[in-house]
Every structure is written in structure tokens, then in C-alpha cells.
Homo-oligomer: A and B are copies of this chain.
């Protein structure tokens, strides 16, 4: 059991070293060697736990997804909140998170899922599928929320699935533009407009 903990420790030290690097730079720009040095681990140990760089980045994706799912996302999609306020909350959370990262790191890092998607999805279908699954789950959260808002009469009926996808796209797009400006304040200015997006039910 002791061994298990040590092993887990090495593995998680690698992930902990990799996370901020993949977030702040890019997949291709971060090398295994650098991660090993930062984690205090030898090459051989690294490849004991991860068959390839791709497997590492997948673990990093999971780590970020868990962090979000257990943090801001869980707070935002609290069933106790009125549906549309959950969306406000999520936008706020994204804004404050990006802002705090910029204060510490000096730069807007954006969304790691979006970053990786645009970098690797033409080159690696396995990574693309992994990232797509993250987006699909996020879309479901939006969709449920919209359905509840419609059921509650807060908003008129609409195509919840497509509108959810549109909202997710908008959020990613705003983060992209904010990153181009290195300014999280754009999220503050543009974020709330996410609720104006609407796709009507197609007539059939």
C-alpha cells in the first residue's frame, strides 16, 4: 500500500507539473524532458506511468475537467439557483478564474480545452475525441439548464440542444478573443450576452 501511494505520488507530480505548462503554452511546445525536470522524475519513470505524451495530455485534460466539475461548475449548476442565473454564475466564474490567472501569471491563458482543440484536432483523432467528449458534457449542462428554464416559464420555448451548443460556442469564442487581447475584461463585457442567444425549435 505504501508503494501505491508513492507511485500515485510520482504520477500526480508529473500531472501537476504538466498542467500549468500545457495550459500556458501549447502541446507541441512543452517537452517531456522539461516536465520530468520540473517534477523531479526521470525519463524512465515517466514512461513507466505514461505510454506516450498523448496519454499524459489526456490525463491533464481529465485533471482540468475534474477540477472544473468539482469547482465552479458544481457551484454554477446548483439546482437551488434559478436556471438562467446558473449561466450567469458560470460566466462570472470563468471571468474571475481567467482574471486571477492573469494576475498571477501575467497572461490570459484561456480555456485549455479550446486551446488543445484548435492545436491538435486535425492531427490526432484520439485527442480530438477526448476533447469533444468534454464539450459534449458541457453542452449537456447548458441544455438541461435551458430545459428547466423553459419548464419554469423563465424563457420562451426554444431548441435547447442547439441553443446550448451555441452558448458553449459563444463562451469559447469570447475566451479566444479575450486571449487575443490578453484581457479577461472582455469576458466581463461580452459574457452576459450569452443569454441573448436563441435557436428556435425547427418546425417539424
Contact = CB atoms under 8 A, between A and B. Distances in A.
Interface string A182-197: 1000100110110011
Interface string A149-185: 0000000000000110110111111101101111000
A54 interface: no
A2 interface: no
B190 A117 contact: no
A83 B165 CA distance: 26
A121 interface: yes
One complex includes copies of this chain to the number of: 2
A190 B165 contact: yes
Interface residues of A, number: 48
A201 interface: no
Given A169-B170, A173-B176, A190-B199, 20 more contacts: A25-B123, A28-B29, A114-B176, A115-B119, A118-B179, A119-B119, A121-B179, A121-B180, A122-B179, A132-B180, A135-B177, A162-B189, A162-B193, A165-B177, A165-B189, A169-B174, A173-B173, A189-B199, A192-B199, A196-B198
20 contacts: A25-B122, A26-B120, A29-B123, A115-B118, A115-B119, A118-B119, A119-B119, A122-B179, A128-B182, A132-B180, A135-B177, A162-B189, A162-B190, A166-B170, A166-B193, A169-B177, A171-B173, A172-B177, A190-B199, A193-B198
